[in-house]
Amino acid sequence: MERPAWAPQGIDLTVPSVSRMYDYYLGGSHNFEVDRETARQAIKAWPGLPKIMQANRAFMRRAIRFAVQEGITQFLDIGSGIPTFGNVHEVAHALDRGARTVYVDNDPVAVAHSRAVLGDDRRAGVVSADFRSPQDIVESPEVEELLELDKPVVVMLVALLHFVEDRDEPRKCVAELARRLAPGSLLVISHGSCEGGPVRDGGAALREVYSTASAPLVTRSKDEIAQFFEEFELVEPGLVALPHWRPDSPLELEDPVVLGGLAGVGRKVGLAE
């Protein structure tokens, strides 16, 4: 018999969690030994991996700033995880006190932690949902309460899509989300890729490490990543390596490993209704 949809998911703390591994890369201690052990193996398979995560956070910060400059102050951060610092609502509030943020994650521990951190901040909320069920996200009470979907929203899929396999139809999920968004909304994506950075073994060893984690790693080509923006118009400079997306200052010598991640921001086309 299939388990009914309303029966709860169990928690297995012995499975390495990709969100806690991410926290470890960023120097946090919101992780268990099993997470750290797997993260150490990942770093061994792909030296410099933490630098990519760092570049991701930096890109996210710049993307938020771009959005606020464009006058958009509603954020839907899907796959928010357990990051230690520099979170969307913090960055956004520093720019606009009225900014609203909804975090979404499918990891119950990440969701519980986020709840604790947000406390009674009325401008931010957490949804326990999965990117692969866009309807659950868009129709959640938090989204209905905090975000006005008839106005532009920033949907952030930062370092998320490379954890979604093709059989789960991520393009369809993005399209379903996009369908619910007002024209002018922004789609922020960063994605692991074997194009651009050092080739090494094409990421095979890293994928092997992640195969034991809570989500497998799926690297995609630039063309494949660009397809996620089907209903969007990429803003300048398009889909580029993480540090090359609207850098704050002239580019300095970076560890070339960070060129292995691609980032882009798209604007939903169509006339405002």
Q: Which residues bind another protein (CB under 8 A)?
A: 1, 4, 6-11, 13, 20, 25-32, 50, 53-54, 57-58, 60-61, 82-87, 89-91, 94-95, 108-119, 247-249, 252, 255
Euclidean distance between CA atoms 232 and 224, whole angstroms: 15
Choose between 48 and 184: whose C-beta lies nearer to another protein: 48
Q: What angle do CA 61, 64, 66 make, to 5 degrees?
A: 110
Rounded to whole angstroms, the Cα distance separating 231 from 266 reads 9
The H-or-E segment that residue 134 falls in is helix 134-138
Q: Which is nearer to another protein, 167 or 250 (CB)?
A: 250
Q: Is the bond into 237 cis (omega within 30 degrees of 0)? A: yes
User: Least CB distance from residue 265 to another protein, whole Å?
Assistant: 17
Closest distance to another protein from the beta carbon of 269 (Å): 30
Shortest Cβ 214–another protein spacing (Å): 13
Please say which residue, 36 or 171, places its beta carbon nearer to another protein: 36
d(CA 173, CA 224): 15
Q: How many helices (H) and strands (E) does the chain have?
A: 10, 8
Q: Name which of 65 and 222 has its Cβ closer to another protein.
A: 65
State the Cα–Cα distance between residues 212 and 223, nearest whole angstrom: 28
Helix (H, G, I), strand (E, B) or coil at 263: strand
Looking at the Cβ atoms of 174 and 265, the one nearer to another protein is 265
In angstroms, what is the minimal distance from the CB of 120 to another protein?
12
* Cβ proximity of 169 and 123 under 8 Å: no
User: What is the closest distance, in whole angstroms, from the C-beta atom of residue 151 to another protein in the complex?
Assistant: 25
Least Å distance, CB 3 to another protein, is 9
265, 188 Cβ separation under 8 angstroms: yes
Residue closer to another protein (CB basis): 57 or 191? 57
